[in-house]
Amino acid sequence: MNRPARRQLETWVEALGEGRLTRRTFLRRGLALGVTLPVLADIVRLYTPAAAETAPTPQLLERIKKEGRQLFIANWEEYVHPHTIPRFAKEFGVKVTYDTFPGNEQLLAKLQAGGARYDVIFPTHNFLPIYRAQGLLAPLNHEYLPLFSNLLDKFRQTSFDPGNTYTVPYSWGMTGLAHHTVQTRDDPRLGSWALLFESGPQRYSGKLGLTDEREEVVAAALQFLGQPPNTHSREALREAGALLLRLKPHIKAFYPGVEAKKALITEDLVVAQSWSGETVKAQAKNPAVAWALPREGGTGWFDAMAMPKVAPHKVTAQAFMNYMLRPEVAAENANTTGYATANRIAVEKYIDPQVAGNPAIYPPAETLARVTFLETIPDDVLPVYEDIWTRLLGA
């Protein structure tokens, strides 16, 4: 590195250490200057200011004590850092019962049945209007959420929960294609949903996978057909259903996210509709796994923390949500799960540089432009989706 470039880097390092330059900006400038990512990552770790703890007040701990010092959580599998729950339990003096669920439909059904008395749940954005309409959620007291301002603006005050009355955005990601580069390297349909719908039956029959989320499966077929994934057109939906029925004999299984990851690692799947984070984790175990957002587009989603109306430990639940909003906690979770955090401070200061630079987790603007966030299915269109799904699973 020549002397002017070294001086420029030193100026940026000083700005990073003083908090005048975000990690992402520093990384982008450093890479443009020709500095390698490992060197930049070491600089970031050395010069980023340490996280400030937001310890619970004695008053909050007393309220948690009165509630019984217990917390019941239902979350997606492998969706927090292994230390997150134990550290919260120790700091707040709480016994945590932690369950996982495979999909949104299963979690919603548990809440609708009335037998699941969870304190914190993690539903996906397009299911939130259903929870709200059915009166399944308790409103949040934002006095217990002083770190709410840490969230990115685009995840605050969304149409799915105006004013964030019921939810605290947690994590977000994309649904696209995972594939094994050794088997697909000469496939002319790479980068398109055609890899699944056209090459799939011809070249990878029995090695194809779809998610077990109805809306996402139908959306993939719609996008391949050139239709908007949130269309209400019954004709377009029926065409998508027919396409999926033709593909069904070649599908190995409909996978929850974590199970798809395992099948990709073992190469039981060659091409799969997959969540971005699960593909990232599969690639860490098997470098032949690759992620692609199809040129026709993919879907986007965010999961949020919410408090069921029947939650028995509401103060403790909101203390947990605020704990999860600590930027260092949010960053640790994001670094582990392979999904992007909705926490602005975590993104700016604490995300691991190699994670921040992974386009499957934090996509560039041109990729994000091809991502459509799914909407809640209207009641008048829901029977069409139910018919598609019933036929597809029964075929």
Q: Give per-residue pLDDT as tens, 283-327.
A: 999 999 999 999 999 999 999 999 999 999 999 999 999 999 999
Q: What does the pLDDT look like over 214-272, one tens digit per residue?
A: 999 999 999 999 999 999 999 999 999 999 999 999 999 999 878 999 999 999 999 99
Q: What is the pLDDT of residue 19?
A: 66
SS3 at position 86 = helix
pLDDT at position 49 over 70: no
Q: What is the pLDDT of residue 8?
A: 86
Pairwise CA distance, residues 338 & 381, whole Å: 33
Q: What is the pLDDT of residue 51?
A: 42
Pairwise CA distance, residues 173 & 258, whole Å: 14
pLDDT at position 53 over 70: no
Sorted by where each starts, the structural domains of the chain and their CATH numbers stand as 3-47 (no CATH), 58-172+301-346+361-366 (3.40.190.10), 173-298+370-394 (3.40.190.10)
Q: What is the pLDDT of residue 46?
A: 67
Q: What is the pLDDT of residue 29?
A: 87
Give me 156's structure tokens: 């605050």
What is residue 308's DSSP assignment? B
- Helical ranges in the chain per DSSP H: 3-17, 23-33, 37-47, 58-66, 84-92, 104-113, 128-133, 181-184, 194-197, 199-203, 214-224, 234-247, 257-266, 276-285, 314-324, 327-337, 344-345, 353-356, 365-368, 382-394
Contact residues for 138 (Cβ-Cβ < 8 A; gap 6+): 166, 307, 308, 309, 311, 314
Exposed/middle/buried for residue 130 (C-beta within 10 Å: 0-12, 13-18, 19+): middle
267: left (phi over 0), alpha (psi -120 to 50) or beta: left
Mean pLDDT of 1-21: 78
Helix axes 234-247, 382-394, angle to 10 degrees: 10
Question: Measuring CA to CA, which residue among 216, 237, 243 is closest to residue 380?
Answer: 237
Q: What percent of the chain has pLDDT over 90?
A: 82
- Binding residues, as ranges, are 78
Q: What is the pLDDT of residue 108?
A: 96
pLDDT at position 48 over 60: no
- Binding residues for spermidine, as ranges, are 78
Q: What does the pLDDT look like over 160-187, one tens digit per residue?
A: 999 999 999 999 999 999 999 999 999 9
